[in-house]
C-alpha cells in the first residue's frame, strides 16, 4: 500500500509518501516540506497548502492519508495554524474518498522507535534506517511526515489482519472511505 | 455591498448574508446554521461545511466574507474543530479571490451593541433591531454570523473612507483580494 503522511503546519507542512507492507522493507517514494511565509495572510497560506497537498494526491495517488493529530494543549502560538492546516489536509483527502487516519505524536514515536517520548533526532535516525536512506530527511517536518506514513502502514497492517479475522468470524469492520480509523 | 458572515464551528457553523452600506438600513438576505453530527468523522464533517459554504458563495455571490477570529485560549474542547472550520471557510473564500476579514468576538459585540462584553441576548436583540426582524435569529450562531456581516459592512465602510482619503493623499492602501484586512 502507498501512504501519504502529512505533518500539518502553516509555516512548514511536511509531506512524505511511503510504499510498502508489514513484514517487508518499506520504500521512500517522495518527501517535501511545503513552506508559506508568515508575512502572507492566513487564507492565502491555506490555499497554498491545499494546492500542494492536492498536487501530491494527484501525482502519487496514495491508498490512504495519515495526518498528525493536533491537540489544543500544544504550543499556543502555532496551534491555530496547525489546526487549520490539518483541517485542509483532511478535507483534501476526504473529498477524494480516501481513508484518513490520525496518529498522535506519541503513537508515531512509539511505532518507529519503540519509545513514545523519543526526540526528533531519534525519530529522524529511525526513519533513515527503516527507509534505508543515506541521511536523515531534513527538516524535522519531513522526517515526521515519513514517520507518520510508516506508522500508518505498520498499524494499518495490524488493523487489516484484525479486520480479516473479524470478517472471517462474520463481523466485518472493514474500513470505510473517508472514515477516521483510530 | 453584500457580505457573508461566518461563525465557524464543527457542530454548528453560522452563515448570514447581509446587504447594505454605512448610513443606510441593512437588509437580511439569508441566514442558516450548518450542522454536522459529532458522531461522524471530522474529515466528513469538514467536507460538509466546505460544501455548505461553497453553495452559499455560489448562490449569493457576496462581495466579501467576514469570519470570526478564533483564539487558542477559547474553550479547549471545541477550539480545534472551530479552528479547522475557520480554515475551511477562509480557503473557500480565498479560492474565489474574495476579500476576507477576521473580526474578534469583542469587535463584533462592540460594533453591534456598543459594548465589547455584550452577552448573546444583547447581540441577538441588536441584530434583530438593525435588520428590522420580527424576532431574534435562532440559534445564537445564526445571530453571530449576521452580527459579523453587519460589523464588516460598518467597519468596511469606515475603512473604505480611510482608503479613499489615503488614495487622495497619494498613499493608497486599497484592499487586495484574498488579503486579510485587520
DSSP one-letter string for B140-158: HHHHHHHHHHHHHHHHHHH
Is A47 at the interface with chain B, CB within 8 A? yes
For an interface test with B, give the residue of A87, A101, A104, A177 to mutate (most B CBs within 10 A).
A87
Of A7-21, B88-102, B119-133, B144-158, least confident by mean pLDDT is: B144-158
The DSSP element (H or E) to which B56 belongs, if any, is helix B42-60
pLDDT in tens, A96-132: 999 999 999 999 999 999 999 999 999 999 999 999 9
Average confidence (pLDDT) over B62-76: 85
Q: How confident is the model at residue B171, as a pLDDT?
A: 43
CB-based contacts of B142: which residues, under 8 Å, 6+ apart? Answer: B14, B16, B31, B32, B33
Residue with cell 502560538: A77
For chain B, give the mean pLDDT.
88
What are the sequence ranges of the domains in chain B? 2-167
A41, A77, A88 member nearest B87 (Cβ): A88
ipTM: 0.79
Q: Which CATH superfamily is domain A2-168 in?
A: Ribonuclease H-like superfamily/Ribonuclease H (3.30.420.10)
- pLDDT surpasses 70 at B165: no
Q: Tell me whether residue B144 is one of the annotated catalytic residues.
A: no
How far apart CA B165 and CA B163 sit, in angstroms, is: 5
Residue with cell 468576538: B105
Which residue from A minimizes the CA distance to B99?
A: A43
Task: Identify which of B42, B76, B83 has the shortest CB distance to residue A80.
Answer: B83
Q: How close B97 comes to chain A (CA, Å)?
A: 9
User: What is the C-alpha separation between B49 and B51, in angstroms, rounded?
Assistant: 5
**Section B32-57 average pLDDT:** 97
Is B141 a known ligand-binding residue?
Answer: yes
pLDDT of residue A126: 96
Q: What is residue B135's DSSP assignment? A: S
Residue A159: pLDDT over 90? no
pLDDT tens-digit map of A52-97: 999 999 999 999 999 999 887 666 678 889 999 999 999 999 999 9
A91 contacts B50? CB cut-off 8 A: yes
CATH superfamily of B2-167: Ribonuclease H-like superfamily/Ribonuclease H (3.30.420.10)
- What pLDDT is stored for residue A175 in this prediction? 41
Amino acid at each position: 500500500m502507498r501512504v501519504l503522511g502529512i505533518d500539518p503546519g502553516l509555516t512548514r507542512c511536511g509531506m512524505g509518501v511511503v510504499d510498502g507492507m508489514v513484514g517487508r522493507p518499506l520504500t521512500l517514494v517522495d518527501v517535501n516540506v511545503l513552506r508559506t511565509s508568515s508575512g502572507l495572510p492566513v487564507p492565502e497560506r491555506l490555499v497554498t497548502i491545499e494546492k500542494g497537498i492536492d498536487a501530491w494526491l494527484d501525482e502519487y495517488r496514495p491508498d490512504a492519508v495519515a495526518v498528525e493529530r493536533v491537540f489544543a494543549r500544544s504550543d499556543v502560538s502555532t496551534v491555530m495554524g496547525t489546526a487549520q492546516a490539518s483541517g485542509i489536509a483532511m478535507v483534501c483527502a476526504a473529498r477524494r474518498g480516501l481513508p484518513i487516519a490520525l496518529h498522535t505524536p506519541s503513537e508515531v514515536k512509539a511505532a518507529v522507535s519503540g519509545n513514545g517520548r523519543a526526540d526528533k533526532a531519534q525519530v529522524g535516525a529511525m526513519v533513515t534506517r527503516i527507509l534505508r536512506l543515506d541521511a536523515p530527511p531534513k527538516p524535522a517536518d519531513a522526517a515526521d511526515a515519513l514517520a507518520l506514513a510508516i506508522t500508518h502502514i505498520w498499524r494499518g497492517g495490524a488493523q487489516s489482519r484484525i479486520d480479516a479475522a473479524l470478517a472471517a468470524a462474520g463481523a466485518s469492520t472493514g474500513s470505510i472511505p473517508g472514515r477516521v480509523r483510530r
